[in-house]
Chains A and B, each alone.
Chain A
């Protein structure tokens, strides 16, 4: 199992390289620093939330409310700012609201004991509704220019957008924790077999609670980035982003069944999806083609690993019969 998993992530990296190669051939505008800047900006929110979603899916849980949490954090930021709170404090309020969203999910799953799929479908709708209640039909759009510029300009003298900073910092932190600490090992153990993890002394419920809270906080960070990038906070922002995040995590080699996955695979996957979209777009493929490709990738990432497992077990049973 471990061996196969390794191959999948390598496959994702090879896929990314192939996309870059093909994209460069399809369009002269693809392999440019301008485009790299656009793509890195474009994947910002997805990458940030995917970091946390990787933990959650490895631990055998899922959070479908991330886009709504992102949007509620953004709405809270905008609402606070509109009511005279300084922008810096409004950002902290946005982050806090994201965290609270995660805490609510964590509470309902680990304390009340409901399945995460059901809980987060509910909070998906609830958080979206709260954003509407907060802002009404009036988006907040006159944000401080210095801050908004961070959302869509590059770091001076580079071709890297400012949004790369939260991705890089949080990415390193997430990678170290997942692959080099006890918390990371616990996460895998819980996803592999929660019962066994519990008996071996891992605080399963507390860990899951913390993972949900962290996912909420990351959604909050993504909400701040989103607000700056689009210079506005509106109740209908980031609709459907949860699908992009989950697709990226699964295509990155994280098993929907839990216990399996690595962060670098997920990051390569997020980059691949951004690069494909950009390549198809610049090569004048229609937006319909884009939809088909991203749908197909999601299907491949769920079906292929499962098919391999089935094939392997069949081969094993054949061997056993012999």
Chain B
């Protein structure tokens, strides 16, 4: 469940980023300074046939045409490490120059990646990284947003929707979901320090968090429980695509006035954003993740970027810096509002 959410969330963030670059970039030119042309690049998702990764590849393809590389989108139908390993073997055998990969399993593909690296292939992870202990297997990881920022951005959306006043509750996934817990921990102090007229409905963020277990029915019940327990709650943040959708549906059904925001898939949330039930949801933009990863990998292969902490590289007209852990973040989560939802609901 958590894995699935991470995937979706990753996709969303990526899509946002991609859109951002897609609109701001000059038309393609065959040669870019610092990048060799004619590179043979493999773009490998966790699994093909997933809309999120189709969008991811869209960004990768755009970068490929800009730098004059020959890109191939390949991967398994099931998102497992062993299935991905077979395709990594293929990439080794067919002498690709570069592999851009979203790791379906943070450990199981590491031996294969090391083998690919030994064969001279430059590897960049994008969207999903290998385990921290194995980070030497790749040059750099291109990830959506730092964990804390995913939490604090959601607080900003809630504050904006609620007019920066009132109380806030959280409708999360499972109590054990590591991603959600990290984001929620970042929300806690941020709300009260940034927005003096706002507070957590239960006193602390921990006491204000309800768990819908990424189950539509349970999330709906928990949404109702929040309203029953705290009739004056001003906003509910749901940092999971299942929860935020359930909250939007139930809010509309009940005609509740509470503001709803969180991490949502544009395709699922579009009806509720279009009719005004929900003002803003966010996610990352898979298109940008793919786009930026291809640039990072092509520059690394061409020798104009080494992936070390503190180094930076350009993708399109933006510069990205490598931070601790060998990771480059795209930036803030991408937000969806009435203004742009029509475009994005068709993408993922």
Residues 71-102 (chain B) with a chain A CB within 8 angstroms: 72, 74-78, 80-82, 85-87, 89-90, 92-94
Assess whether A290 is in contact with B77, with CB atoms less than 8 Å apart. Answer: yes
Find the B residue at minimum CB distance from A234.
B107
Could you say which residues of chain A place their CB within 8 Å of the CB of B109? 230
Could you say which residues of chain A place their CB within 8 Å of the CB of B111? 148, 151-152, 229-231
Q: Per-residue CB proximity of A229-250 to B under 8 Å, as 1/0? A: 1111010111110000000000
Residue A207 is within 8 A (CB to CB) of chain B in the complex:
no
With most chain A CB atoms within 10 A of its CB, the pick from B2, B75, B80, B92 is B80
Residues 29-58 (chain A) with a chain B CB within 8 angstroms: 29, 32, 34-35, 38, 42
Residue B178 is within 8 A (CB to CB) of chain A in the complex:
yes
Residues 108-122 (chain B) with a chain A CB within 8 angstroms: 108-112, 115
Assess whether A139 is in contact with B176, with CB atoms less than 8 Å apart. Answer: no
Known: A29-B93, A142-B133, A231-B108. A239 touches B86 (CB 8 A): no
Partner of B93 from the list A38, A42, A137, A151 (CB cut-off 8 Å) is A38
Q: A230 to B114: give the CA distance in the assembly, Å.
A: 12
Residues 210-234 (chain A) with a chain B CB within 8 angstroms: 229-232, 234
Assess whether B49 is in contact with A232, with CB atoms less than 8 Å apart. Answer: no
Find the A residue at minimum CB distance from B73.
A286
Residues 265-288 (chain A) with a chain B CB within 8 angstroms: 277-278, 281-282, 284, 286-288
Residues 10-30 (chain A) with a chain B CB within 8 angstroms: 29
Residue B106 is within 8 A (CB to CB) of chain A in the complex:
yes
CB distance from A153 to the nearest CB of B (A): 9
Could you say which residues of chain A place their CB within 8 Å of the CB of B131? 139, 141
Residues 283-301 (chain A) with a chain B CB within 8 angstroms: 284, 286-288, 290-291
Could you say which residues of chain B place their CB within 8 Å of the CB of A281? 86-87, 90
Q: A231 to B107: give the CA distance in the assembly, Å.
A: 7
Partner of A152 from the list B75, B77, B115, B178 (CB cut-off 8 Å) is B115
Known: A35-B93, A137-B176, A137-B178. A232 touches B80 (CB 8 A): no
Residue B105 is within 8 A (CB to CB) of chain A in the complex:
yes
Q: A290 to B90: give the CA distance in the assembly, Å.
A: 14
Partner of B76 from the list A34, A238, A278, A287 (CB cut-off 8 Å) is A287
What is the interface size of chain B, counting residues whose CB is below 8 A from a CB of the partner? 34
Find the B residue at minimum CB distance from A237.
B108
Known: A137-B176, A141-B134. A282 touches B107 (CB 8 A): no
Residue B227 is within 8 A (CB to CB) of chain A in the complex:
no
Assess whether A141 is in contact with B107, with CB atoms less than 8 Å apart. Answer: yes
Could you say which residues of chain A place their CB within 8 Å of the CB of B77? 287-288, 290-291
Assess whether A231 is in contact with B78, with CB atoms less than 8 Å apart. Answer: no
Residue B48 is within 8 A (CB to CB) of chain A in the complex:
yes
Assess whether A282 is in contact with B86, with CB atoms less than 8 Å apart. Answer: no
Q: A144 to B196: give the CA distance in the assembly, Å.
A: 53
Q: A270 to B2: give the CA distance in the assembly, Å.
A: 34
Find the B residue at minimum CB distance from A232.
B107
CB distance from A110 to the nearest CB of B (A): 33
Could you say which residues of chain B place their CB within 8 Å of the CB of A151? 111
Known: A141-B133, A281-B87, A288-B49. A234 touches B76 (CB 8 A): no
Assess whether A230 is in contact with B108, with CB atoms less than 8 Å apart. Answer: yes
Known: A29-B93, A281-B86. A232 touches B108 (CB 8 A): yes
Could you say which residues of chain A place their CB within 8 Å of the CB of B82? 230, 237-238
Assess whether A38 is in contact with B89, with CB atoms less than 8 Å apart. Answer: yes
CB distance from A75 to the nearest CB of B (A): 13
Assess whether B85 is in contact with A230, with CB atoms less than 8 Å apart. Answer: yes
Find the A residue at minimum CB distance from B89.
A38
Q: A231 to B82: give the CA distance in the assembly, Å.
A: 11
Can you list 29 A-B pairs, Cβ within 8 angstroms, ordered by A? A29-B94, A42-B85, A137-B2, A137-B176, A141-B106, A141-B107, A151-B111, A152-B111, A229-B111, A230-B81, A230-B82, A230-B107, A230-B108, A231-B110, A231-B111, A232-B107, A232-B108, A234-B105, A240-B78, A277-B86, A278-B86, A281-B86, A282-B93, A282-B94, A287-B74, A287-B75, A287-B77, A288-B48, A290-B77
Residues of B that sit less than 8 Å from A by CB: 2, 48-49, 72, 74-78, 80-82, 85-87, 89-90, 92-94, 105-112, 115, 131, 133-134, 176, 178
* Minimum-distance CB pairs A-B, first 3: A232-B107, A230-B108, A141-B107
